[in-house]
Amino acid sequence: MSTHIHLFDPGATVTFTAAADVAAGQLLAVAGNRSVSPAAAKSAAWIGAAAFDAKAGEKVAVLRGGVQRLTASGTVAAGTLVVAAAGGKVAALAPVTTPTPADVADTRAVVGIALTGGTDVPVEIALDR
């Protein structure tokens, strides 16, 4: 009889190799096999926040789940859904009045909900994964 177990417990910190320089608190996205780089705007491949600074090629711990302090790009209000923004930041998900295919793609990139607000400052985000 075979068995199957988690490689990592859900929400656990996971170590990756930095594919590019990363900074502590930056939102990261999967860049390849067990590698990460700063998340691009509206990336659905985000995985968590960097626990510390790392240069390309170094190991970096990625904090997954829970509440993380991520830097807002522009203004984010408490209670707003946020998506990945350029440079590993987060931005408010734009409201939709007339849905388009791009709006569907944007919802796949939702990082979580803002628990605090601010403009171009770290805000507390409850991560969705």
Specify whether the CB–CB gap between 96 and 103 falls below 8 A.
yes
Kindly report the length of the chain. 129
Mind listing the pLDDT tens digit for each residue in 4-32? 888 888 888 999 999 999 999 999 999 99
- Reported pTM: 0.91
Average pLDDT of every residue of the chain:
94
DSSP codes joined into one string, 7-24: SS-TT--EEEEESS-B-T
Mind listing the pLDDT tens digit for each residue in 43-55? 999 999 999 999 9
